[in-house]
Amino acid sequence: MLADAYDCVVFDCDGVLWSGGETVAQAKATLDALKAQNKKVYFMSNNSSRGPDVFRQVFESHGLGEHVKDERFMWNSVTAAQRWFKGRKTKKAYVVGCAALKDAIRGAGVTVVEPWKQMGATPEKLAEEAIDPAIDAVVLAFDKDYGYFEICYATRCLLENNAELVATNRDFQFPAQKNRKLPGNGAFVAAVCAASRREPDVVVGKPSRFALDAIVADAGVSARRTLMVGDMWSDVEFAHNAGCDALLVLSGVASLDDARRWSGITRPDFVAPDLTALLRPVERFPPAPSSSSRRWLLPSIVAAAAVAFLVSRRRGGAPPDRSDLDDATRWLTAK
């Protein structure tokens, strides 16, 4: 079975273990089977709206609580952000995100600045307000109350203080109830990037390899013996950036058509309907057609048609039929 080739399996959560509030069928049975085989199982979600305690409660609500009794196996953008700032000399940060994220960053020794939010203020009013000149980092995470004030304050910190820009993730969507897809943190990050005319200095969540490198080191395994299971392009790039393989499951955001379009580091190694594929043999997903083969496809067809026409003329002037085209194709292939 697929899992036999790996010592460690890292799971995304939304769209893999549960989707739109519903538990994915056989999620518990699959995790139990991996545990019985002594596989090292970790979880890494780009969700930045839950602290460890709330995150564990979500697992428990889906009957998966026994797999996250030890916090070291449970990662998300909040824990990744805290780990990032523990290795920095950041003094003050403007953080857009939930209280748990702010607490985690404070736990790393960083002062979190929380300016008075002026909802409905005009651009002229916001331009007059002073920003804290000591802010040396801006952290962008999911916040359902995100608005123009946050974009303005974050942009000014970046432009006026030259602060470091830290994004928890750049996921453009997440799966919601009734099989609907809603905007994710990537939409917020894109707005600030456009306004400040710069890209994030670091993405602590997926697809950056930062968290997966830490997970592989903690597991004490080889990256090549580690499999990432996810439902989005960011999960696939997350795996490949760290030298791991990726299984794309179709129980969340991405579709089979998406997988067929993706190439390079976004091309998954395996594609399956859901995580139960780990318990059976799965063939590798075929590589993307090379750009050179696509470039020559139309000229080759035109050339084959031209040769077919010449062949038909030699046979007496009748219009070329399928056999003529087959002869032409064989002739071109042999050249």
> Does residue 169 have a known ligand-binding role?
no
Set 4, 7, 14, 136: catalytic member: 14
CATH of the domain at 226: 3.40.50.1000
DSSP string across 39-67: -EEEEEE---S--HHHHHHHHHHTT-GGG
Asked if residue 72 is part of any domain, the answer here is: no
Same domain flag for 199 and 212: no
> Does residue 206 have a known ligand-binding role?
yes
Q: Which of 203, 230, 258 is the last residue of a domain?
A: 203
Does the pTM surpass 0.95? The reply is no
Same domain flag for 189 and 119: yes
Residue 97: domain span: 85-203
Quick one: tokens of 294?
A: 């696509």
From first to last of its 335 residues, the chain has per-residue pLDDT tens of 999 999 999 999 999 999 888 999 999 999 999 999 999 999 999 888 888 899 999 999 999 999 999 999 999 999 999 999 998 999 999 999 999 999 999 999 999 999 988 778 889 999 999 999 999 999 999 998 889 999 999 999 999 999 999 999 988 887 788 878 888 889 999 999 999 999 999 999 999 999 999 999 999 999 999 999 999 999 999 999 999 999 999 999 999 999 999 999 999 999 999 999 999 999 999 998 876 544 544 454 444 444 444 445 555 555 555 555 455 444 444 44
> Does residue 136 have a known ligand-binding role?
no
Quick one: tokens of 195?
A: 């306004």
Set 4, 7, 12, 132: catalytic member: 12
Asked if residue 214 is part of any domain, the answer here is: yes
The pairing of beta strand 137-140 with beta strand 111-113 = unpaired
Burial class (CB in 10 A: 0-12, 13-18, 19+), 212: buried
Asked if residue 243 is part of any domain, the answer here is: yes
> Does residue 12 have a known ligand-binding role?
yes
Same domain flag for 22 and 40: yes
Count of beta carbons in the 10 Å neighbourhood of residue 304: 21
Asked if residue 62 is part of any domain, the answer here is: no
Is 12 noted as a catalytic residue in this protein?
yes
Is 14 noted as a catalytic residue in this protein?
yes
